[in-house]
Structure 1
Amino acid sequence: MPRWHRVGFRLYWALLCKVRRRAGGKEIPREVRDLIFQMVAENATWGAPRIHGELLMLGFEVSERTISRWMRRAPRNPEPAQRWRAFLRNPGEAIAATDFFTVPTLTFSLLYCFFVINHDRRRILHFNVTRHPTSHWIVQQLREAFPCQSAPRFLLFDHDQKYGLEVPAAIRSLNMECVQTSIHRPWQNGVAER
């Protein structure tokens, strides 16, 4: 394609893009946006349909789709994250965390390494390796990790299905409190996830 042809096409499309009008409907007033942000902040369980209904009752004609878009832009309350970070920081010696990592072998099988780590000094308290982790095996590892009433106050672990229902019961029987991290939030167990 000759150079003058490419330049002509570029010029044509540049002019056409400038002439086109902006897509979308009319812009919603700042007052309505602030009201959406306020409703999101004060009512964490409300979704777009509920906020849409409330705005309709107040006399504002805004589509539910627009509300859901503005809900994503709403400033988030940092309070829950700050509470979690403060919990992890303050009683550091009273927190231990557990997790698994996998190790591929030369025979293309996987080994699962279970470990328990202390939060304040990041000291490994216990670890063991198995090919097939079960909840009963994990309970035994916890008993070996915390013999003779040496258990910390809190034990952090994620939502892995390997833990089952037996592991939280065993943790409580060792006089520890179970603290499960939220789903898809590895930062909440940052000491074990590193």
Structure 2
Amino acid sequence: MHGELHRLGHKVSAATARRVLHAAGISPAPRRHPARHEWAAFLKTQTSGSLATDFFHIDTIALRRLYVLFVTGVRTRTVHILGVTAHPTAAWATQQARQLLWQLGNRAADFTHFVRDRDAKFTYALDAVFASEGVAMAKIPPRSPNCNPYAERFIPSVRKECTDGLLILDRGHAEKILHDHARHFNGHRPHHGRNQLAPHDDPNITPCPLPGSNAAKPSPA
């Protein structure tokens, strides 16, 4: 609520949003467990050049489980849906990594670290793909998903805002709706960590100004 109003050029404090939610009987979002101190410091210092990845699963109406591999940019929160498969393997994950770097092109040089967990599907072959572009691998401690908070935060968001409200037919259907959601997520959805801007928004321009609003003009540099 706060983010959508902000995108329209309305200045509404977070406290006002909390009061409205409280009056409607909606509890605030639960607080997440803090990451270990050393990893919190690492992520803070490497934010501008980090990518983070993880898998999550969804089930089709035929009760077939599918696995989704995604990557998110830590600084911009831009999300990339790399692929959907019923049989995730190390070779498949490595091929998706190659595809990502191909899609990024020259932008791959902006990244210095790739944050991942210790899933067996993330092998040295995948690490080598990123190392060839000068991107160092940063493996989180064992059994510590809270040390990969940016990727972990996307998973409940995509489930709540997309997959949990749909009947998914098959892998092709899952890929389509997830890519559609990624376009919405990157181009419109406000993010608290980006001052209620979407990943692709210009921070100097109100994304959706009201007609006749002064917010339609770029803010001074």
Q: Report the TM-score when normalising by structure 2.
A: 0.48
Residue from 134, 138, 143 that aligns with 1:175? 134
**1:186 & 1:134 partners in 2: Cα distance?**
21
With CA pairs under 8 Å and 6+ residues apart, which has the higher RCO, 1 or 2? 2
Any gaps of 5 or more consecutive residues in structure 2? 1-34, 154-221
Pairwise CA distance, 1:192: 0.4
**Contact 2:36 / 2:147 at 8 angstroms: preserved in 1?**
no
Pairwise CA distance, 1:82: 2.6
| Count of aligned positions | 115
1:129 and 2:84 correspond = yes
**Contact 2:140 / 2:148 at 8 angstroms: preserved in 1?**
yes
Letter aligned with residue 164 of structure 1: T
Taking a change above 3 Å as real, the CA distance of residues 165 and 90 of structure 1, as seen in their structure-2 partners, is: closer
Any gaps of 5 or more consecutive residues in structure 1? 1-79
Q: Aligned Cα RMSD in Å?
A: 1.8
- The corresponding residue for 1:110 is 65
The runs of 4+ residues in structure 1 deviating greater than 6 Å are none
Q: Report the TM-score when normalising by structure 1.
A: 0.55
State the identity %.
30
**1:85 & 1:140 partners in 2: Cα distance?**
30
Letter aligned with residue 150 of structure 1: R
Residue from 89, 101, 107 that aligns with 1:150? 107
**2:90 & 2:74 partners in 1: Cα distance?**
23
**1:91 & 1:165 partners in 2: Cα distance?**
22
Pairwise CA distance, 1:160: 0.7
**2:123 & 2:50 partners in 1: Cα distance?**
21
- The corresponding residue for 1:92 is 47
